[in-house]
Each structure stands twice: as structure tokens, then as C-alpha cells.
Amino acid sequence: MRVLRLIAVLNRTFGRARWRKLKGVAVVQLPNGRMYLAELHWYEAHGIGKKAIKIKRLLEEAD
């Protein structure tokens, strides 16, 4: 999806703002109950918060 089209979708869905694509690492629990350290990607705008969080890859199993 092109960047301009994606920004238009974010503006229409969550409100007009200056959207940024961010990434980070967190411990996530999968539906099967197992916990993993995972790389996450999401979109964020000031005053709106984090939206469209996706697990991009599982790094290792957490304790």
C-alpha cells in the first residue's frame, strides 16, 4: 500500500493527524497461551495514540 493511501486510510479511520510509523519490542501472549519476545510495528499520532499494532516477528520464547 502506498504511503499516501495509507495516511488517507488512517486519517479517515482515526482522525486527521500527523501519523508516524514506529517499532519496538515487547513480550506478547499468543492465543495458545505461550509468551514470546516480539518485534511490533504500529502507527501513532499525537493526541490519538497507538493504532494498528502488528506483530512482525517472534524473537524468542519468554519465561
| Per-residue pLDDT at 24 | 97
pLDDT at 1: 62
Residues of the chain with pLDDT under 50: none
The b-or-e profile of 5-39 (16+ CB within 10 A means b, else e) is eeeeebeeeeeebebeeeeeeeebeeeeeeebebe
Residue 34, all three cell numbers: 505461550
Torsion of Cα atoms, 48 then 14 then 23 then 59, to 10°: 120
- CA-based torsion, 62, 50, 45, 21: positive or negative: positive
